[in-house]
Amino acid sequence: MKRIIQTAGAPAAIGPYSQAVEVNGTLYISGQIPLDPQTMKIVDGGIQEQTEQVMKNIGAILNEAGYSYSNVVKSTCLLSDMANFKSMNEVYGKYYPENAPARAAFAVKELPMGVLIEIETIAAK
Q: Residues 60, 76, 5, 113: what is their CA dihedral angle, to the nearest 10 degrees?
A: 80
Domain containing residue 110: 2-124
Number of domains present in the structure of the chain: 1
- What global pTM score does this model have? 0.96
CATH number at residue 15: 3.30.1330.40
Please compute the mean of the pLDDT values over residues 111-116 and round it to a whole number. 95
For 50-95, the pLDDT digits (tens) are 999 999 999 999 999 999 999 999 999 999 999 999 999 999 999 9
Q: What pLDDT was estimated at residue 14?
A: 84
Number of other CB atoms surrounding residue 31 within 10 Å = 17
Instruction: Identify any residues that bridge with 96 across adjacent strands, giving them in sequence order.
Output: none
Please compute the mean of the pLDDT values over residues 23-52 and round it to a whole number. 97
